[in-house]
Structure 1
Amino acid sequence: MEKIVGRANMMAAYQRVMANKGAAGMDRMTVEQLQPYLKEHWPRIREELLEGRYRPQPVRGVEIPKPGGGMRQLGIPTVVDRLIQQAVHQVLMPLFDPGFSKACTASVRGAVRTMRCWPRERMWLRGDASSSTSIWRSSSTG
């Protein structure tokens, strides 16, 4: 957790959240309001994170149109929670998925999960991703 809340990681997460912009969550805080808020509240938030007491805020639900018609529910976390999510992601992603290249894309269709790494590799997973019987296969189709 020290690495997650470390200054360099948090600054990188902050830059990413600012670049992504995004809508305000339940608290209606915008990304432009994040820096002054953190100047006042970061010591408390950091302490809560390190002690395991931090609790994310509820997400704001909005409905957005689906491309094929109809609507779908979208949850929008607060800007502070997006910052923390990004910081956690930056530390954990390289540990849990070191082989996932930035040139890769992933998709899920039914029970088959596909990951393509351009220009050559394609991997797929058949079965439940949480199951010990899942099988990753690789091919060199382009």
Structure 2
Amino acid sequence: MGSREGRRQPKIPKGSCLREEAVNPRGTVGAPSPSPAPLATPPREAGDNLMEQVVERQNMLRALRRVEQNKGAPGIDGMEVKDLRAYLVNHWTRIREELLAETYRPSPVRRVEIPKPGGGVRLLGIPTVLDRLIQQALLQVLTPIFDPGFSEASFGFRPGRSAHQAVRRARAYVEAGYRYVVDMDLEKSSTGLTTTS
């Protein structure tokens, strides 16, 4: 019973494959790694301007409904989600023109420190509700284009994917004989990176 011969091996999800990755000069390690999918073409003809699709009325209304559903705290300007529709009635024409002219500049985020249970703090950056609206509108246009090219083993912040699915996938890898896990948390990537121009 102690041998692997008698145990049933779980099926690794379709699309996974083994690929050797160099880890040091003394050897390589096999790791499940799906082949990248080709990027989808934009929903319209390739010559269309993506920003035109972002600012289309139906896309913006969908984004507005999503921001209103999510609610959330005000950003640095203090505007609350409930005030966004009225603000857009008076300012949408200018904002749309700035987006299309590529002159729109997002506001700085409001920094908030959230205590962690084990000590320390997690820094959050809270965008203004207007910037959240624009981010959501961009997401709705760009996700169908780029998401198909993401790894099948990637579960973070993707539509139709969850932490529970990631755990199930990890369990399948362990049951298939893999014994090493790399756990990465990019929590400080946006606040800890320095760039130079």
Instruction: Tell me, in whole angstroms, the C-alpha distance in 1 between the residues paired with 2:53 and 2:132.
Output: 17
Q: 1:89-117: CA deviations, max 9, x gaps?
A: 000011001377743236xxxxxxxx739
Instruction: Tell me, in whole angstroms, the C-alpha distance in 1 between the residues paired with 2:115 and 2:147.
Output: 32
Structure 2 spans left out of the alignment, 5+ residues = 1-50, 151-157, 174-181, 183-197
Corresponding residue to 1:6 among 49, 56, 63: 56
Structure 1 spans left out of the alignment, 5+ residues = 107-114, 127-142
Q: 1:42 to 1:117 in 2, by over 3 A?
A: farther
Q: 1:102 to 1:32 in 2, by over 3 A?
A: same
- Structure having the higher strand fraction is 1
> What is the aligned length?
119
Q: 1:30 to 1:3 in 2, by over 3 A?
A: same
Q: Which has the higher contact order (CA 8 A, sep 6+)?
A: 2
SS at match of 1:33: helix
Compute the displacement of 1:118 (Å): 7.1
Compute the displacement of 1:36 (Å): 0.6
Which residue does 2:161 correspond to in 1? Answer: 104
Aligned: 1:66 with 2:116: yes
Instruction: Tell me, in whole angstroms, the C-alpha distance in 2 between the residues paired with 1:117 and 1:86.
Output: 27
Instruction: Tell me, in whole angstroms, the C-alpha distance in 1 between the residues paired with 2:52 and 2:109.
Output: 26
Q: 1:8 to 1:117 in 2, by over 3 A?
A: farther
SS at match of 1:56: coil
Q: CA RMSD in A?
A: 3.1
Percent identity of paired positions between Structure 1 and Structure 2 = 60
SS at match of 1:61: strand
Aligned: 1:18 with 2:68: yes
Instruction: Tell me, in whole angstroms, the C-alpha distance in 2 between the residues paired with 1:92 and 1:117.
Output: 27
Q: Which has the larger radius of gyration?
A: 2
Q: What TM-score does the superposition give when structure 2 sets the normalisation length?
A: 0.53
SS at match of 2:113: strand
